[in-house]
Every structure is written in C-alpha cells, then in structure tokens.
Amino acid sequence: MAKTSAAPRPITLRDLAQRPERLSGGHRLCAGCGHSIIVRQVLHATEDPVVVANATGCLEVATTIYPYTAWRTPWVHTAFENAAATLSGVEAAYRALRRGGQVQENIKFVAFGGDGGTYDIGFQSLSGAMERRHNLLYVCLNNEGYMNTGIQRSSATPRGADTTTSPVGEIQPGKPVNRKDLTEIMVAHNLPYVAQSAPHDWRDITKKAAKAFDTTGPTFLNVLSPCPRGWRADTAQTVELARLAAETCYWPLYEVEQGKYRLTYQPKKKLPLADWLKPQARFKHLFLPQNEGLLEELQREVDQRWEALLAKCSA
C-alpha cells in the first residue's frame, strides 16, 4: 500500500521567497489568469528537482510560444489527452535509472492539465496512471471550460453557465446539467492523497502540494482557477472569486488522506451562492425573474453537496 511520510514542516512566506522560481514572469497568460498563481504555489511546495508534463491548453500555449519558454525546470508538452500517460513513462524510466545507479537525485513528477484535458479528453489517461500507481502528482487547473479553444463547456462547467456550446437562449438557460465531481472520482481510485484547493489561500495549496509530493504513489489536486475571460469577470477579482467559491461552499477546501476525509477550511458564516455568481457575467441571466427557480436549485445542490461532505469528514 502507498504510504505518506511524516507531515512536512509548515511552509512559510520566507521559505517561498527563498525558493527558486520554476515558472518565470513574461509569459503570455491573460491578465488575472489563475493558472500561473497556482503553478507557482505548487512548484514552490518542494525543494527537490521537478519534471513537469503539461497538457495542451492555456498554460502550455501561453508559456512556450516558440522560440521562448517561461519554464525553468525540465518540461514536456503533451497532447490534450495524454499528460498523465507521458509522465507515467518518464517516471517509470526514472525508476529504472535509479535502480541501475545511474541517477541519485530524488526527483518529483507533476502533470498540469486544464479541466478539458483532465475531466474529459485526458480522463482515460489519468485514470490509467492512477490505477497503475505511478509515483506522480496530477494537478487539474480547473477553470471550468475549454477556455483556450473558445470558451466551450466541459464536464467541469457548472449548471447554468453561459458558454459558446451551452448558450443562453429561448431553449435553455445555459448549461443544462450539473458538473462532474472529479475529485470524488479520484477518491474512488483509492489514491493515498486527493485534495481540493484554490489560489486565494497560499497556505492551503502549498501545504497540500507538499503533502502530495511527499506521498509515495499517485496523488491528485483539483484546484479552482478563475478565468476572467471565460467567466466574464473583472481581471482584478481572481483571488476574490476563489475566496468566494470557498466561502459559499461551492468549492470546499478539503483533503482525503488514505481514505480519511478532512476539511481544511470551514467558513464561519456560509455565504449564499449568489455572492459567487453575481461577479461573473456568464451567470447574469440567472438573476432574471424567469430563472429564479433555477437559482434556487443551484443553491440547493451546493447545500446538499456541502452537507454530504461534512458527513464524510465527521465519519
């Protein structure tokens, strides 16, 4: 059975300031994009050498426009669908080289993919890598849609969202079905460590990434990544939108370690879901009188998921 090591020493701001940048500035991600914040927080969580696999998507396109690169660590670009499979091969090669004494370094392996390349196109590859128990961390940069190719809906897109393939009109008020809960699907793979986080809380995300890096076996982080362009929100509101997602319990911060659920943040006062929806123009139609019932349904869904999670954490 895969095992976790002793809890690492808490990472301080001084630690982060002293660690080298593995993703440089000067990339071409949109203003306010959550991806670069998350990647920097994750990569700062370990002092060991890191090999990165990057599925096709916003992060890959914006950080490696030929002939430039923003990466200061070994990095490989993969197709949309096979980041986990590619990194599995790299990790297997490393283990073979280490057994033969050709490599002595303690190298970590992390794959970054958007929700399109994780929830959908890359799900088979991800599931296979997790089932084979490769020693790697997979991080889903979840901006809730295929943002790089035109803001199409994915299975991570919440119900009611207005996208180019689930438009608001006379037939339907945005995406007609609820989002898939990939975090729970990863828990069902019996992984040693699975967690949800968001970029507004650097302590939460770096602690979880450090745990994942220090765990033997496959680990998974699902991180909400606000997208000003796709969410049609103010570019200055990225961190606030992430915070509101946690405060409304739309995006709970929790971890599952060896099957044991634990909340890592519980709001003192749970805010209404509308507080998270209103700053995003992709949901503006939900506040029209004819969609009042749908707004109530969305609130009930969040409430039910939250209560179910609380029950798991107290079991």
Q: Hey, where are the domains in the chain?
A: 13-314
The pLDDT of residue 8 is: 57
What angle is formed at CA 60 by the lines to CA 57 and CA 63, rounded to 5 degrees? 140
One pLDDT digit (tens) per residue for the chain, 315 residues? 555 555 556 788 888 888 889 999 989 999 999 999 999 999 999 999 999 999 999 999 999 999 999 999 999 999 999 999 999 999 999 999 999 999 999 999 999 999 999 999 999 999 999 999 999 999 999 999 999 999 999 999 999 999 999 999 989 999 999 999 999 999 999 999 999 999 999 999 999 999 999 999 999 999 999 999 999 999 999 999 999 999 999 999 999 999 999 999 999 999 999 999 999 999 999 999 999 999 999 999 999 999 999 999 998
């301080």: which residue's tokens? 12
- pTM equals 0.95
Q: Which residues pair with 142 in a beta bridge?
A: 224
The pLDDT of residue 7 is: 58
Q: How many whole angstroms separate alpha carbon 217 and alpha carbon 2?
A: 5
The pLDDT of residue 3 is: 53
CB 211 within 8 A of CB 10: no
CB 179 within 8 A of CB 158: yes
Fold of 13-314: Rossmann fold (3.40.50)
The pLDDT of residue 214 is: 97
Q: How many whole angstroms separate alpha carbon 78 and alpha carbon 56?
A: 6
- State the burial class of residue 110 (Cβ atoms within 10 Å of its Cβ: 0-12, 13-18, 19+): buried
- 254 membership: H or E segment, kind and range: strand 254-257
Q: How many whole angstroms separate alpha carbon 141 and alpha carbon 263?
A: 20
The pLDDT of residue 301 is: 98
The pLDDT of residue 10 is: 76
Q: Which residues pair with 37 in a beta bridge?
A: none
The pLDDT of residue 37 is: 97
Residue 178 CA: distances (Å) to CA of 130, 174, 291: 25, 11, 16
Residue 232 CA: distances (Å) to CA of 14, 106, 226, 283, 295: 35, 42, 10, 9, 19
Q: How many whole angstroms separate alpha carbon 140 and alpha carbon 146?
A: 13
| DSSP symbol at 29 | P
